[in-house]
Structure 1
Amino acid sequence: MLDYPDYPIYAYKEMLDEEFPFKIEIRQPSTMNRILHAHEHLQLCYMMSGSCLHWASGRQYVLTKGDLFSIPPFQEHRLEPREAMDFVMVQVDFMPHAVNENFRDFAQMPTFIDFAYIRPLISETDLLPKITLPAATQTVVENLLSVLLTEWKEREEGYRLAIKAELLKLLVITGRQYKRYSQTQSQQERQKVAIHREAFFEAITYMQTHYNEDLHLDVVAAKALMAPSYFSHMLKLTKGKSYIELLSAIRMQASMELLTGTDLSITEIATRVGYNHISHFNRTFKKHTGVTPGDYRKHQI
């Protein structure tokens, strides 16, 4: 469990299998989580029947049959029953690499990223990105979730591949429905989402052009208009690397170009790409390439 002053934040390794970080469950009043909490992974939920209350970031939302909603990483939330009302909700928990090890599918799904990761951070009028699916789409999603539940329960040979395929279908449907929903939003709401998406990618560009500086996660995350932990998670989602991993990769690429394209000493190259200690640079370079900077230069020239 990650430390937090007010409520627990669960690391995904506590709740999901590290090798295949996916889980699907049915929630009812007797199995709902009424404790305020957050988690490191993404959660997609669909209301099969009935109604309940959902608290997210201090606000209350009524969920009813046909609602599809997401809980992004690190957002505090909890469920609460409505008086004298039952419900059945399907809850899908996963990390991006359960779908695709290289995260390319998510990076190419901007509407899904907006729905599940960006919009919950910025919307003032409807913090929870809830979509009420049309009747025909409800049937499709319910059939899809039924397949996922069966595959997860029976776990026959090839179940992981089957789950990935069905989960990708769910993400595509979610992205398409959000695109339709977003077309009904005000220009101001659409502009907010666009600004935050642009700020995120501008922060990545900043890393790529200022890698030689002493870059701190909190400074770059602020340029992305995100909390540091959330920014690092979004990098993992779209780039397949955490903040430190991405910064190291950028620096290593620059150092390889300097090693083969200049006569600069290895110490000077280390300084130019942002490393104050040559020993740290040498260790990172060998970890990244499998050889020392000297050997890399020798074999590339």
Structure 2
Amino acid sequence: MRPVELGHRKDHPLEMTFHSHPYYEIFFFHSGRCNYVIGPNVYSLSPGDLILMHGMTLHTPNPDTRVPYVRSMIHFQPEFLHEFMNRKYIAPLLRPFEELRNYRLQTGARKDEVERLLADMAALQDSPEERAYERFLLRFIDLLYVVGELCRSPMAADAVDGVRSEREHHVQRVIDFIESHYAEDFSMEDVERELHVSRHYLARVFKAWTGWTVFQFLYQRRINQAKTLFLVDGELSVSEVSERVGFKHLSHFSRVFKQWEGCAPEQYKRSLAASPRSWRS
């Protein structure tokens, strides 16, 4: 894998799944209709929206399949900047990812500039010219400067959050509840009592907005936290991790983990132990 990779103007249908990864991501929404869930936040995207992602946070899109869902994604390893640039210039470029972590920007008047940079990067990434990838990286650095400038602008803040629809507001409140209580044993009746909204309505709106049931989202949040614990503390046993993320029975944890990750938690833990330490740091 190259240190920076671009998927430009992709419009193929997705098999929707919550996922995380150990690299940073820039997501740009060209066109379509899409709700995007990132950790404890849910966004209704508009063309020109740009999302910064800190990788390891659980995220998934829920696009409207009746219209083309056109997006560009850049995945990059932040470590490469230390090899590519003078140290004093690196911190400002990474600050938006490290301080904001997962953030939606509205590019506004700079939408065309961002799209031109992405198009230039796509052409250079596919070019057979000898120095094309170095020129690709220079365009990427330019894009990082644009992102940094957008983050400094008060107009870039999520101003639309103040005018969220009622349904989006309820979905956000359910996600906030899960984020606060995912390690506890709770039911939809508990959610209803906490939010003072019918559990049947919440379940229906959550599924329509995110594409997932409340408990599918809960289990993915627990499994993602389990993966994080395995990654940062290799001394924890599978049963300790199971208990910490909210499963009352180890067998249930193992079954759900394998369902989502395709392997047993013990196997996942062993694979991390065998991985190079540099990847895990």
Q: TM-score, normalised by structure 2?
A: 0.51
2-structure distance, mates of 1:142, 1:56: 23
Aligned to 1:96, what secondary structure does the other structure show? coil
2-structure distance, mates of 1:48, 1:183: 17
Write the deviation string for residues 173-205 of structure 1: whole angstroms up to 9, x where unpaired. Answer: 00011011389699xxxxxxxxxxxxxxxxxxx
- Choose the corresponding residue for 2:108, options 117, 131, 134: 134
| CA pair 185-104 structure 1, distance change in 2 beyond 3 A | farther
- Choose the corresponding residue for 2:99, options 118, 130, 142: 118
Q: TM-score, normalised by structure 1?
A: 0.48
Note if 1:174 corresponds to 2:155: no
| CA pair 155-62 structure 1, distance change in 2 beyond 3 A | farther
Over 6 Å off, 4+ runs: 182-186, 227-230
Write the deviation string for residues 246-299 of structure 1: whole angstroms up to 9, x where unpaired. Answer: xxxxxxxxxxxxxxxxxxxxxxxxxxxxxxxxxxxxxxxxxxxxxxxxxxxxxx
Write the deviation string for residues 96-146 of structure 1: whole angstroms up to 9, x where unpaired. Answer: 244441664586443x434222223xxxxxxx41111122x1111111100
Write the deviation string for residues 127-177 of structure 1: whole angstroms up to 9, x where unpaired. Answer: x41111122x11111111001011112242112211110010000000011
Aligned to 1:53, what secondary structure does the other structure show? strand
Higher Cα radius of gyration = 1
Match of 1:147 in 2: 120
The one-letter amino acid of 2:123's match is T
1-structure distance, mates of 2:141, 2:76: 12
| CA pair 147-185 structure 1, distance change in 2 beyond 3 A | closer
2-structure distance, mates of 1:29, 1:161: 27
Cα drift, residue 84 of structure 1: 2.8
2-structure distance, mates of 1:139, 1:105: 30
Percent identical residues? 18
| CA pair 31-94 structure 1, distance change in 2 beyond 3 A | farther
1-structure distance, mates of 2:133, 2:104: 28
| CA pair 105-79 structure 1, distance change in 2 beyond 3 A | farther
Aligned to 1:64, what secondary structure does the other structure show? coil
Match of 1:299 in 2: none
2-structure distance, mates of 1:102, 1:228: 31
Cα drift, residue 75 of structure 1: 0.7
Match of 2:38 in 1: 56
In the alignment, is the contact (CA less than 8 A) between 1:44 and 1:69 conserved in 2? yes
- Choose the corresponding residue for 2:134, options 161, 178, 199: 161
Cα drift, residue 47 of structure 1: 1.2
Match of 1:94 in 2: 76
Match of 1:35 in 2: 17
Give matches, 1:246-261, under 5 Å.
none
Match of 2:254 in 1: none
Give matches, 1:42-81, under 5 Å.
42-81=24-63
1-structure distance, mates of 2:9, 2:70: 6
In the alignment, is the contact (CA less than 8 A) between 1:131 and 1:181 conserved in 2? no
| CA pair 67-89 structure 1, distance change in 2 beyond 3 A | same
Residue-pair matches, total: 169
- Structure 2 residues without counterparts, runs of 5 or longer: 160-228, 233-276
| CA pair 31-138 structure 1, distance change in 2 beyond 3 A | same
The one-letter amino acid of 2:108's match is P
My pick for the range that moved more, 60-69 or 38-47, is 60-69
Aligned to 1:24, what secondary structure does the other structure show? strand
